[in-house]
Amino acid sequence: MKSVEGGTFALYSLLCRHAKKWLEGHAYKKNCLLILVLIGTCTAIGDGILTPAISVLSAAGGIRVQNQNMSTDVVVIVAVFILIGLFCMQHYGTDKVGWLFAPLVLLWFILIGSVGLVNIRKYNSSVLKAYNPVYIFRYFRRGKSEIWTSLGGVMLSITGTEALYADLCHFPVLAIQFAFTLVVFPCLLLAYTGQAAYIIDNKDHVVDAFYRSIPEAIYWPAFIIATLAAVVASQATISATYSIIKQALALGCFPRVNVVHTSKKFLGQIYIPDINWVLMILCIAVTAGFKNQSQIGNAYGTAVVIVMLVTTFLMVPVMLLVWKSHWILVVIFLVLSLTVELPYFTACINKVDQGGWVPLVIAITFFVIMHVWHFCTVKRYEFEMHSKVSMAWILGLGPSLGLVRVPGIGFVYTELASGVPHIFSHFVTNLPAIHSVVVFVCVKYLPVYTVPAEERFIMKRIGPKNYHMFRCVARYGYKDIHKKDDNFEKMLLDRLLIFVRLESMMDGYSDSEDLTVMEHKAKRSTRSLQLIEKAGGNNTMSSTGDLSYSSSQDSIVLAKSPLTGNSLTRYSSQTPGDELEFLNRSKDAGVVHFLGNTVVQARRDSGILKKVAVNYVYAFLRKMCRENSVIFNVPHESLLNVGQIYYI
């Protein structure tokens, strides 16, 4: 759950869609839920860093078993080279070699299960008594502190198996249940039981019991399979980290980065260059810094158990508010889950000084990045909401807007889905001209998986027809993609022409100003937009705002003023054909994209933490992130930036 489908983000999106009233009741609910979601997400990212480190280092340790005189540094160097090769291959994607993953993992499980079975029979079959739960009570009854802290090591025996459920988006639930029940679980039991049987007779081989317990006849084939299985496991967590970052990006909790889709068939196969190199550096630092898998294991266990706890706590409001489960079932679920997770959590926390601090530092770093970015973007959005210009003021200027309407189409990008952004009024008060056709473009990311292509764009007209002003809302789910070959400008122009045609066809049915591209889907589209504006304005998860496509601001029709300006503006579209011709003539005259280049700064009376977060951390992140013009492939020669400063 935590990987491909986003885990905490997926649970949050459920709450956004089905528990709006509960979230809107008090601001602290949204803030607490957001913090919990970010903690789980950032810790899962730490898991994606630690998994390649411990998996590859453990596999590379096999070369030292056959030569005990070999230095540990050699093993570390081999592991580092494997990690570098793994991350350098990420940009090729996994679609070409992905068909090898399932057979390889199956072969791995058969190998460890068979070796475990051989060791049980060869060394000590009495270890099968460990399946009797009575022995666990006897174990804890000894009462020593070392017994409790040993749970941190026991935690490592189950980590990794939860990643099996990341494939819920690729396979049916029944298939995963069969795979876990018939393959994964029994093979793991046999593997660990076999190692226990080997250790009973070879107590000095505890550190590298896995490789030493492998029969010598199959040692090197087993080493190769183990290394390849470690690469597959690492690949899964790296891809999961890309997916988490992409979903955080779509929900406004991470700076804009370049997302490359490596497969034409599978949308989930993505590659983020910036994150890839950051992960590689951190993985190498962890591997070279610790040099042994025990301390990395402590860190790994801490990361996994924190993600499990966060997921459990998020499940409570989902069960109550979304699934409408009875409170008794919720209490039973919570008690049973915490009974298992809290002991492991306390055991892992006791090992913070032995490597468990690593995931905490990684999680805190990513949490600061996400929280600062989210806070500043929300504040900027709220400022724009309160400073937006009334449509009554714009329409009161008349069809010419009080300016010279020059030939062409101007796309004004805004994060507001109603009203006129302050950046536009800032522009028109400083320049004496505006294009003959103006389209306010608002791109919104809904907290849903995907938005169908036919429902992607919502168009509407602003004011009378001779104003030639429109609004377009482009909606994307957190799994939707912007391909390099997609021409966003062309899609907007095509949608504008389709809207005008459909509007003319429906003039006899309704003369309302609130027509959309698909009238039959208007209600559903409006509800979706209201959801994102309230639950995720400015592409975020917790900003507020009211988005209604029956807004009076966009449907004000004042007395018509005399047309002024040049001949293109004076050309009044009296018939659908005339207006289509007018739009085509404007398109041929040229298209310009207006982007707001806002600088966010903290007020002078702000505290030191806020000044550091806004003026330095957020400013640095803004410089490092990608511009909207790059994301939507806006031609550089057609781009016009309009700057202003926001004080928060």
* DSSP line for 475-492: EEETT----TT--HHHHH
Whether 559 is covered by a domain: the verdict is: no
Do 293 and 432 fall into the same domain? no
Whether 243 is covered by a domain: the verdict is: yes
When divided into structural domains, the chain yields a total of 2
Whether 231 is covered by a domain: the verdict is: yes
Whether 621 is covered by a domain: the verdict is: yes
Whether 16 is covered by a domain: the verdict is: yes
Do 282 and 416 fall into the same domain? no
305 near 162, Cβ under 8 Å?
no
307 near 282, Cβ under 8 Å?
no
pLDDT of residue 567: 37
pLDDT of residue 509: 53
Between CA 646 and CA 377, with CA 370 as vertex, the angle to 5 degrees is 20
| Residue 92, CB-side half-sphere exposure with 13 Å CA sphere | 10
Do 363 and 471 fall into the same domain? no
Do 124 and 78 fall into the same domain? yes
Structural domain that includes position 126: 8-377
Measured in whole angstroms, the distance separating CA 561 from the mean position of its chain's CA atoms is 49
41 near 306, Cβ under 8 Å?
no
Which residue stretches of 388-512 are H helix? Answer: 391-396, 422-428, 488-505
pLDDT of residue 623: 79
CATH at residue 348: 1.20.1740.10
Residue where the block lists tokens 């941190």:
152
Dihedrals phi, psi of 437, to nearest 5 degrees = -125, 125
CA distance 47 to 3: 10
Do 406 and 311 fall into the same domain? no
Do 413 and 457 fall into the same domain? yes
Do 433 and 354 fall into the same domain? no
pLDDT of residue 251: 77
The residues, ordered by sequence, that sit 6+ positions from 553 with a Cβ below 8 Å of its Cβ are 390, 391, 392, 418, 419
Give the end of a domain, one of 349, 377, 405.
Answer: 377
Give the end of a domain, one of 311, 345, 377.
Answer: 377
Whether 546 is covered by a domain: the verdict is: no
- Tell me the pTM: 0.72
pLDDT of residue 107: 92
pLDDT in tens, 5-38: 446 777 877 787 777 777 776 777 778 888 888 8
448 near 476, Cβ under 8 Å?
no
Between CA 449 and CA 456, with CA 453 as vertex, the angle to 5 degrees is 80
pLDDT of residue 120: 93
pLDDT of residue 641: 74
Indicate the burial class of 58 (C-beta count within 10 angstroms; 0-12, 13-18, 19 or more).
Answer: buried
Cα dihedral 328→329→332→333 (10° resolution): -150
Do 329 and 420 fall into the same domain? no
Q: How many residues are there in the chain? A: 648
Do 371 and 395 fall into the same domain? no
Do 462 and 314 fall into the same domain? no
The residues, ordered by sequence, that sit 6+ positions from 614 with a Cβ below 8 Å of its Cβ are 372, 376, 600, 601, 602, 606, 648
pLDDT of residue 448: 67
Do 414 and 308 fall into the same domain? no
Ranges of residues in the chain with a pLDDT under 70 are: 1-7, 25, 95-98, 143, 145, 159-171, 263-268, 291-295, 397, 447-449, 478-486, 507-577, 626-635
297 near 283, Cβ under 8 Å?
no
pLDDT of residue 576: 59
Which residue stretches of 537-603 are H helix? Answer: 567-570, 576-589
Residue where the block lists tokens 């991470």:
254
pLDDT of residue 468: 86
The residues, ordered by sequence, that sit 6+ positions from 438 with a Cβ below 8 Å of its Cβ are 409, 410, 412, 468, 469, 470
Return the number of other C-beta atoms located less than 10 Å from residue 311's C-beta.
20
The closest alpha carbon to 115, from 107, 408, 643, 134, belongs to 107
Whether 238 is covered by a domain: the verdict is: yes
600 near 614, Cβ under 8 Å?
yes
Whether 166 is covered by a domain: the verdict is: yes
Tokens linked to 575: 């018939």
Cα dihedral 386→392→398→402 (10° resolution): -30
pLDDT of residue 190: 92
Do 350 and 465 fall into the same domain? no
pLDDT in tens, 137-167: 888 887 676 777 777 777 777 766 655 555 5
